[in-house]
Amino acid sequence: MAARILIVEDNLINQRVAHDTLCSAHYRVDVVANGQQALEATAATDYDLILLDWHMPVMDGFETVRALRSGSRTADVKVLAMTANVMSGDRERCLAAGMDDHIGKPIAPSALLERVAYWLGRPRTPGSAQDVALLPGGPGLIERSILAELAALEGDDGLALLYDLKQLIRETISRVEPELQDAVVARQWDRVAQAAHALKSSTGTLGLTALASACNALEQLTREGSTLEAELVLGRLRQLVVPSLAAMDAAIAELVDR
């Protein structure tokens, strides 16, 4: 019987990419948006593995894993942390909190499948995303190989996924961009950092590297208190939106024509 996996993730784009990637490898997958929902799901269903986001509303990853480890049904379930943080010692903090491993974001389908298979004690599932050739074009607005890997999912699911993600990232940016601007005007820097962190994760997962880099810079500057520089970076971020989305559309169109 296929292994059952629970994804605990509040970011809609990361939810969709992780879900479709694992389903393409024939795992049975459920998705919840926060730690409290994860505890409710695990009380009703036995899972073989849990993918747990680090930063979530309601109950974060550390609080959630402590609750999981204290439960008789979930004390030994494999829990893999997912986080966009790349600070030194992050993996050690995850392990010390009771997680079995750490998977960095942005989520790469092939890497996700390999880590999941490893912790389930299984070989990589045939039909999962394979290595793909880099599409023409050098570094810049996007990393086209990431979109190509998503398109390489089993059957037609990859291309259907790309079409859905095109719409979802536009909706996400349309919501977050004015939120960032309003938060900067109001000098609410914690709010700026949180919104930038969320957008960094979404854009990075889709290979929108220039936008993700600007979001990362904005997050770090606001957390450090460099407000003037943060305003300049926000201006640069907003200038990148239209050309980045156009580059993504062109890359997807090329993948569809292959």
Conformation bin of residue 154: beta by default, left when phi > 0, alpha when psi is -120 to 50: beta
Tens of pLDDT, residue by residue, the chain (258 residues):
789 999 999 999 999 999 999 998 999 999 999 999 999 999 999 999 999 988 777 787 888 999 999 988 899 999 999 887 655 566 677 777 788 988 888 888 988 999 999 999 876 544 333 333 333 333 489 999 899 989 888 665 668 889 999 999 999 999 999 999 999 989 999 999 999 998 999 999 999 999 999 999 999 999 888 888 999 999 999 999 999 999 999 999 988 876
Q: Which of helix, strand or coil describes residue 220?
A: helix
Please enumerate, as own/partner, the contacts of 128-134 that have beta carbons within 8 Å and a separation of 24 or more: 128/21, 128/24, 128/25, 128/153, 128/154, 129/21, 129/24, 129/153, 129/154, 129/158
CATH number for the domain formed by residue range(s) 4-129: 3.40.50.2300
pTM of the model: 0.87
Alpha-carbon torsion (86, 89, 94, 95), positive or negative: positive
Under a CB-based contact definition with an 8 Å cutoff, are residues 215 and 240 in contact?
no
Cβ(94)–Cβ(102) under 8 Å?
Answer: yes
157-257 matches 4-129 in CATH topology: no
For the chain, domain boundaries = 4-129, 157-257
Q: Which fold has domain 157-257?
A: Four Helix Bundle (Hemerythrin (Met), subunit A) (1.20.120)
